[in-house]
Structure 1
Amino acid sequence: MSLHPSPLPHLPARTRAVLLGALLAGSLAWAMRSLLVEPPAMAAACAASPWAPGPCLLRALAVEALLQQRIGWLALGLALLGLRWPRLQAPAAACAAGGLLLYAADPSAPALLLALLASLGGSSSGQPSASSPAA
């Protein structure tokens, strides 16, 4: 018996992977927001050449993802596709977590919930889990 059991032992492996991906993507989005998008000094430095290689390019791409909440709509689309193709659940959750931190909460919140709920529904092999009834 382990002295430090997993904090989420009752969750399926797919759900744990989806949660981990969402946490990592959320951390990256927070760093982008804090270091590239919001600082006035960064905006001023990139004003003349927003698509220059390096930090200004990353900033420009992040801002483009924010326009019309594009990252959130991408996440919602992936989450809906993840209902059919489980391999898309982790990318959907990652995009949604990023969207929540990058000003796209309206489509990102339901996308994250949908991806997490869908990941609870089956095994990682795509076959029904042992607890689900056979069709």
Structure 2
Amino acid sequence: MSTPSLSPLRLPARTGWVLLGALLAGGLAWALRSLLVEPPEVAAACAAAPWAPGPCLLRALAVEALLQQRIGWLALGLALLGLRWRALQAPAAACAAGGLMLYAADPSAPALLLALLASLGGSSSGSPRASSPSA
């Protein structure tokens, strides 16, 4: 009796691009959080004019996005719409990854999983390959 061979994980190209976009968006959101949202000196500098152009405006937009987990709920809505329209899967994954970095984990985690799972389905390869019995 032969043992089955383990093949490497092969993702559809679309899923790879969606995952790469999510990783890049998550990295940008982490940088935004680390450089503009959390430092107390930035908060003090932007206290007088939070909507002033430049870093204070970016900080104010990030804070607004994380209030009531807005970015996560947006990601979840996009992921649900991405089940029907494939073009929304990558923006949903990117928004969800950003939401994970901006304190909106409750709606962002299922949104990221849903967007990635949706990008797995409907690959252009057609039907799944049938495995042949080994002799």
Cα shift at 1:48: 0.2
* Amino acid of the structure 2 residue aligned with 1:28: L
- Superposed, which structure 2 residues align to 1:1-135 within 5 Å? 10-123=10-123, 129-131=125-127
Q: Deviations over 1:73-125 (max 9, x none)?
A: 000000000000011000000000000010000000000000000000013xx
Q: Which residue of 1 aligns with 2:3?
A: none
Following TM superposition, the consecutive aligned residue runs of length 4 or more in structure 1 with deviations greater than 3 angstroms are none
Q: Deviations over 1:33-90 (max 9, x none)?
A: 0000000000000000000000000000000000110000000000000000011000
Cα shift at 1:9: 6.5
Segments of structure 2 that go 5 or more residues without pairing to the other structure are 1-7, 129-135
Alignment identity in percent?
A: 87
Structure 1 length as normaliser, TM-score? 0.86
**Which entry has the higher C-alpha Rg, 1 or 2?**
2
Structure 2 length as normaliser, TM-score? 0.86
Q: How many residues align?
A: 121
Could you tell me how far apart the structure 1 residues matched to 2:105 and 2:9 are? 29
Cα shift at 1:131: 1.8
Could you tell me how far apart the structure 1 residues matched to 2:125 and 2:104 are? 34
Give the secondary-structure state (helix, strand or coil) at the position aligned to 1:89: helix
Give the secondary-structure state (helix, strand or coil) at the position aligned to 2:103: coil
